[in-house]
Amino acid sequence: MDGPAGAAGTPAPGTPAPAPAIETTGLSKHFGKVPAVDGIDLHVPVGSVFGFLGPNGSGKTTTIRVLLGLLNPTAGTWMLFGRPMPQASMQILPKVGALIEGPAFYPWLSGAQNLARFDAAGPDGDRPTRRARIDLALARVGLTAAAGKKYKAYSLGMRQRLGLASALLRPRELLVLDEPTNGMDPQGTREIRHLIQELAGDGTTVFLSSHLLSEVEQVCTHVAVMSLGKILAQSTIAELQATGARRLAVETVQVSVAATVLERLGLTDLTIEGDAISARLDGQAPEDCCRALVDAGVGVRSLTTVRPTLEDTFVALTGEGFDVAR
């Protein structure tokens, strides 16, 4: 196998593209008759920061549990770094750091003792370097001062940080982070975002499950949207946003005239707010709209096109916003 954090970097020119960090084929997990995950094909390229989005109850955490070998899939197969799972678990999982459904540690042990406990529990937990690795991981998440404190005395945000420290204890090629900023204050959220960007910069693939769309928008290169156990969209973040409906935003004092012109051009979903008017472009070229407005004598102060935010796209795709899917 590759050395620590080896394969995750950008490949040298001329070498074949590395196997995806995560690849699933028709992966399904049913609980009784309910399909929690329903035949998904995920493709997470090496080196990407992959945002895994979906409303609560859409099957994100179940997917993560299957990927990490905690649940047996009902159907389908999956591979991590090109190795079939779960057969290759003992070789692949040591390279995977995970935060699954919040942190979990032994309340009667201190933060540092907990990290040592988990480090000792599996392969690659080199003992001579353990102390130093624990100190470094705690420093990276800002927990050095609380290292000797019992876990039960930790606040929610500190627990989350310790969970991240555990995921960073050894060099990783893949980080699977399920809602990593849960329970953190804005400062902590920003720190985690920087940490993720730093790790991604080192070539670590990050699989980030979240419902905080702005968070995903800021750090992710790729995104998949899941709802009711199915993947609704999967692409780079730029491609996904390009599929959403672009809007035209015009600023003018003659809003009513402008509205008539735009409606005549076939633009829909008009909204007027003071001197601003906005409408769905629906394939119309913005320059044609501009010309039509000027020809109609509308004094155009500004005219821009607005890309949909990830949230707009997300709501358009899932149709249900943030409500619990089931």
Partner 1 sequence: MWRAELISQFRRRRVKALLLVLAAVPALLAVLVYLSGGPSNGQGPTFLDEVTRNGVFAALAGLTVTVPFFLPLTVAVVAGDSIAGEASLGTLRYLLVRPAGRSRLLLIKAVTIGAYCLAAALAVAAGGLIAGVILFPVGRVTTLSATTLSLGAGIGRTLLAALVVGASLFGMAAIGLFISTLTDVPVGAMAATVGLAVLSAVLGGVSQVQAIHPWLFTRGWFAFGDLLRDPVQWTAISHDLALQVAYMAVFGAAAWARFTTKDVLA
* Least CB distance to partner 1 at residue 199 (A): 18
Instruction: Return the number of the residue (17 or 121) whose C-beta is nearest partner 1.
Output: 121
Distance CA(96)–CA(171), nearest Å, equals: 9
# binding residues, partner 1 (CB under 8 A): 31
Indicate the residue among 98 and 231 with the shorter CB distance to partner 1: 98
CA pair distance 245, 315, nearest whole angstrom = 12
Spell out, one character per residue from 147 to 186, where the chain touches partner 1: x when CB under 8 A holds, - when not.
-------------------x--------------------
Least distance from partner 1 to the Cβ atom of residue 221, Å: 24
| Subset of residues 100 to 139 that bind partner 1, contact rule: CB under 8 A | 100-109, 113, 116-118, 120-123
How near is the Cβ of 94 to partner 1 at its closest, in Å?
A: 7
Q: Is 93 in the site for partner 1 (CB under 8 A)?
A: yes
Q: Three-state secondary structure along 28-61?
A: EEEECCEEEEEEECCEECCCCEEEEECCCCCCHH
Site string for partner 1, 263-292 (x = CB under 8 A): ------------------------------
Q: What DSSP assignment string belongs to 198-259?
A: HHHHTT-EEEEEES-HHHHHHH-SEEEEEETTEEEEEEEHHHHHHHSPPEEEEE-S-HHHHH
**Rounded-to-integer distance, Cα 132 and Cα 47, Å:** 26
Query: Could you tell me the smallest distance in angstroms from the CB atom of residue 31 to partner 1?
Result: 9
Tell me: does residue 4 bind partner 1 (CB under 8 A).
no
Other C-beta atoms lying within 10 Å of the C-beta of residue 326: 12
Contact 197, 175 (CB under 8 A): no
Sign of CA pseudo-dihedral 129, 131, 134, 139:
negative
- Shortest spacing between CB 105 and partner 1, in angstroms: 7
* Residues at the interface with partner 1 (CB under 8 A): 65, 68-72, 89-90, 93-94, 96, 98, 100-109, 113, 116-118, 120-123, 166
